Structure 1
Amino acid sequence: MYEFRNLDGPLPVMAVVDERLSTTTVCLASKYGSRDDPARECGLAHVLEHVLMSAPVGPVPSFSEYVERLGGHANAETGLDRMLFYAQVHADDAEEITGLLQQAVLRPRWNDRTLPQEKAAVFQELAAAAADPSDVVQDAFLEHLFPGHPLGRPVGGTRETVEAFDVAAVAAGHHDRLLTAPLSLIVVGPSVPATADPLVAGVPAEALARLGTARRDLSALPDPGPHGPLPWPDEFAWVCAGARSVGNHDPRRPHFNVLAQLLGSSPSSVLYRRLRGEAGLAYAFQSWNRGYGETGAWRVLAGVESGNGDAALAVIRGALEEIAADGPKPDDLESARRQARMRIHTSVDTPLECARFLALRSGGPADWSPAAEVANIAAVGAEELRAAAAHVLDGWRAVVRPEAR
């Protein structure tokens, strides 16, 4: 049985201790994301993530390579509102890797070789995403939902903005934004390594003193773009539809999460029965809710054949309208709640996913825990689902990619 702990210190630690585990997963979670970069430096956070994982650290050529040579796994990710740097290693290596991870992120060694190498990798990422309409449509949806706002910009930036970055710009982003954003450490393993204390790991006290001193610019959200007929192409296309929801720590967030399960891709969902089973209009689709600082985005992503787009959207809207008017049927509501709770359980039961799950929820109420999250999901009732569905319908927007030529 695992034990959930919150440890205070210069770097807050959220730990899941399970003596049965033979591996330790450590994750540094920063509340610096792509939204915090100026528009002219769109994509800098993502490039910085690449550089920090690949630059020399301590006595080793790069953090990622060293972890993999030990037989472990290392990776990082950048989102709109945060960055995650993580590694999973044998528990015997946990002390060393926990210290190295903190050094890699907080005390990088800048050089002229790593940046060009990682910019080339980012260019490949951007090219791959641009060639995949299911990726392109999600960026277009957020741009439509948050026009002219940092939340509507692509996380990876553009080839033009990335091309302009030099070592000085990346170092400035690290100094001015990453080192001043709130940071927390998540540990999942048989024990908490001593190097989870950043002072033990050799992180200078002056660097720790700057953490969390920045305040995110929560500028007013603009009105979403106008919603009109979609320019459907004469080929298979991806449509992304939904609306703004609520922030990551809003007490209503579980309502939108359960609504996503109620209209998700599981055979137990209302939308699966109607969109795939009864109407036969879509094979690949999914629904999810993502909270940010002051708002969120609830969406459905579906792949549709030529000529089926409007009909598929009508089925999705029809399901939402029925829920908004009458609420879900009791057995459908219970199924959706069970699905949402199971997502939490399966995340917590897998060490690497558990670390990511906790990292994405760090910085919330002090009494938050996975058990509290499960309890909040279990408490969602029909009235909350009616209100969430009505909220989505009120802000409904949809985009399609590719568009008609």
Structure 2
Amino acid sequence: MTLPRPDYRETRLENGLTIVTEAMPHVATVALGVWIGAGARDEAEGEHGLSHLLEHMAFKGTERRSAQAIAEDIENVGGDINAATSVEYTCYTARVLGEDTALALDVLGDILTASTFDPTELERERGVILQEIAAVEDAPDDLVGDLFVETAYPGQPLGRPILGRPETVSAFTPDALRGFVATHYRPERMVIVAAGAVDHDVVVDAAHRFYGVTPAGSGPIAPPATYRGGEKRLQRKHEQVNLMLGLPGRSFRDEDYYATQLFAQVLGGSISSRLWQEVREKRGLAYSVDAFHWPFSDTGVFGIGAGFAEGDAKAFMDVAIDTLRETAETLTEVELARAKAQVKVGLLAALETPGGRIERLARQILAWGRIVPMHELVERVEAVDVEATRAAGRALLTGAPTLAAIGPLKTLPKYAAIAGRLRG
């Protein structure tokens, strides 16, 4: 496979801040952003939901710009601006024409270094997030995901919902926001990335201007997470059961990471997968069913997700678990080749837009401290053989299960019975 040769440039400031750009010929726009290696799992006990609130408050005014001015400065040149919070990082991004790169970097630098966290704006945005939390409670297919992770990692920051809880969100102050920024938004845990019609020197100049005088430092590191497993059932009068069944997965640093990803793809990553064919096509037990593997820096969780009628609960569980066990023993060369092709398409499709490229580059710098060439990733996928993929599936089955379910649950098998069937 012949892969395009990327045009990367990388600069690291004396304080540890990394800047990476990738020029893309024939592209008129630039996607750029600031990634911080701190997210929901970096929050202390009383800070649950703070990183997400901080992301919201970033656009609510700075010492130089009002909230309206932030929006207008970007949109006057046809651009857009956004932010996102995950378990392990937070990012602030923009997309503009290449000629407006300096403006976009000025706006991002302004909101990250000079936000005022006005109390009136804070109160307003607090209300928005409380509505967001309430919306999840009303959406069982979203809520079951929060319950699933919380059950897999009980009593740990990794297991807490990113949005926070009403009681914590209601208590946050402007000083709490400033304190989180001062503690975690440190140069050695930050990377500025831009791709498209980009001038590397323009990006470096902005980095020097906004962050060059910030003292070196990485801030505290989140405590290690430990998968536990268990069950959480919410009996509700819904039309169907929303369920996730999980097992301990792998960190993206683990040597079995790629084999586990490929196993999940074979099991339930597409409509040709075993789960889809057995559950949906042959038996009609669920409208959709999938298998997934969520890796983190020091742990991971594997799972199966579906929605089905109450009367099909036992049949679904029997078929899903039997299919999981059988796949771990009989996965074929043809299935693995198909999964590899699907994974490679997913990897390469991310290269087709500037936005996809900056996310990939930022995550790699935060995770590995270097850009991982695409050919290296493809080689790692190709190196996985059938026996390694089967072994990854068998290894999953040695862990304690996690069960999260919402809806009419009277016919759903007991946890002990599910665990016993998984063990065989």
- TM-score of the aligned structures, taking structure 1 as reference length: 0.90
Cα distance between partner residues in 2 of 1:106 and 1:248:
31
Q: Does 1:109 align with 2:116?
A: yes
Which of 5, 10, 16 matches 2:8? 5
Q: What is the deviation of 1:384?
A: 2.0
SS in 1 for 2:111: helix
Which of 224, 228, 248 matches 2:229? 224
Q: Aligned residue for 2:252?
A: 248
Q: Aligned residue for 2:181?
A: 174
Cα distance between partner residues in 2 of 1:63 and 1:193:
24
SS in 2 for 1:364: helix
Q: Aligned residue for 1:357?
A: 360
Q: Does 1:295 align with 2:299?
A: yes
Q: What is the deviation of 1:233?
A: 6.6
In 2 relative to 1, CA 198–135 (structure 1 residues): closer, same or farther, beyond 3 Å?
Answer: farther
Cα distance between partner residues in 1 of 2:232 and 2:124:
43
Cα distance between partner residues in 1 of 2:106 and 2:156:
37
Q: Aligned residue for 2:136?
A: 129
Q: Aligned residue for 2:79?
A: 72
Q: Aligned residue for 1:385?
A: 389
Counterparts of 1:237-386 in structure 2, within 5 Å, are 237-326=241-330, 328-365=331-368, 366=370, 368-386=372-390
Q: Aligned residue for 1:398?
A: 403
Contact map agreement 1:78 1:155 (CA 8 A) in 2: yes
For 1:328-355, what per-residue CA distance to the aligned partner results, in whole angstroms no more than 9, with x for missing partners? 1111111111111111111111222332
Q: Aligned residue for 1:23?
A: 29
Which of 31, 42, 46 matches 1:40? 46
Cα distance between partner residues in 2 of 1:99 and 1:193:
15
For 1:269-323, what per-residue CA distance to the aligned partner results, in whole angstroms no more than 9, with x for missing partners? 2222111111211112333222212101222221112222232232222222112
Q: What letter matches 1:39 in structure 2?
A: E
Contact map agreement 2:62 2:110 (CA 8 A) in 1: no
Between 8-17 and 73-82, report the one with greater CA deviation.
8-17
Q: What is the deviation of 1:154?
A: 0.8
SS in 2 for 1:217: coil
Between 113-122 and 78-87, report the one with greater CA deviation.
113-122
In 2 relative to 1, CA 190–205 (structure 1 residues): closer, same or farther, beyond 3 Å?
Answer: closer
Cα distance between partner residues in 2 of 1:372 and 1:54:
41
Q: What letter matches 2:365 in structure 1?
A: S
Q: What letter matches 2:112 in structure 1?
A: V
Cα distance between partner residues in 2 of 1:181 and 1:150:
22
Q: What is the deviation of 1:228?
A: 9.5
Instruction: Report how many aligned residue pairs link the two structures.
Output: 401
Q: What letter matches 1:149 in structure 2?
A: Q
In 2 relative to 1, CA 180–404 (structure 1 residues): closer, same or farther, beyond 3 Å?
Answer: farther
SS in 1 for 2:366: coil
Q: Which structure has the larger Rg over C-alpha atoms?
A: 2
SS in 2 for 1:289: strand
Q: What is the deviation of 1:59?
A: 4.5
For 1:206-253, what per-residue CA distance to the aligned partner results, in whole angstroms no more than 9, with x for missing partners? 42x2442x241334626333x599969773121112222122333322
Which of 35, 49, 56 matches 1:50? 56
Q: Aligned residue for 2:193?
A: 186
Q: What is the deviation of 1:20?
A: 1.1
Q: Does 1:235 align with 2:239?
A: yes
- TM-score of the aligned structures, taking structure 2 as reference length: 0.87
Between 356-365 and 261-270, report the one with greater CA deviation.
356-365
Structure 1 alignment gaps of length 5 or more: none
Q: What letter matches 1:251 in structure 2?
A: E
Q: What letter matches 1:374 in structure 2?
A: V
Q: What is the deviation of 1:149?
A: 1.1
Q: Aligned residue for 1:85?
A: 92
In 2 relative to 1, CA 371–53 (structure 1 residues): closer, same or farther, beyond 3 Å?
Answer: farther
In 2 relative to 1, CA 63–258 (structure 1 residues): closer, same or farther, beyond 3 Å?
Answer: farther
RMSD: 2.5
Contact map agreement 2:147 2:232 (CA 8 A) in 1: no
Q: What letter matches 1:189 in structure 2?
A: G
Contact map agreement 2:252 2:297 (CA 8 A) in 1: yes
Cα distance between partner residues in 1 of 2:83 and 2:275:
33
Cα distance between partner residues in 1 of 2:267 and 2:216:
43
For 1:27-75, what per-residue CA distance to the aligned partner results, in whole angstroms no more than 9, with x for missing partners? 2111111111112220000000111133236456454453234222221
In 2 relative to 1, CA 373–205 (structure 1 residues): closer, same or farther, beyond 3 Å?
Answer: same
Between 379-388 and 361-370, report the one with greater CA deviation.
361-370
Q: What is the deviation of 1:198?
A: 5.8
SS in 2 for 1:54: coil
In 2 relative to 1, CA 180–367 (structure 1 residues): closer, same or farther, beyond 3 Å?
Answer: closer
Q: What is the deviation of 1:16?
A: 2.6
Contact map agreement 1:103 1:201 (CA 8 A) in 2: no
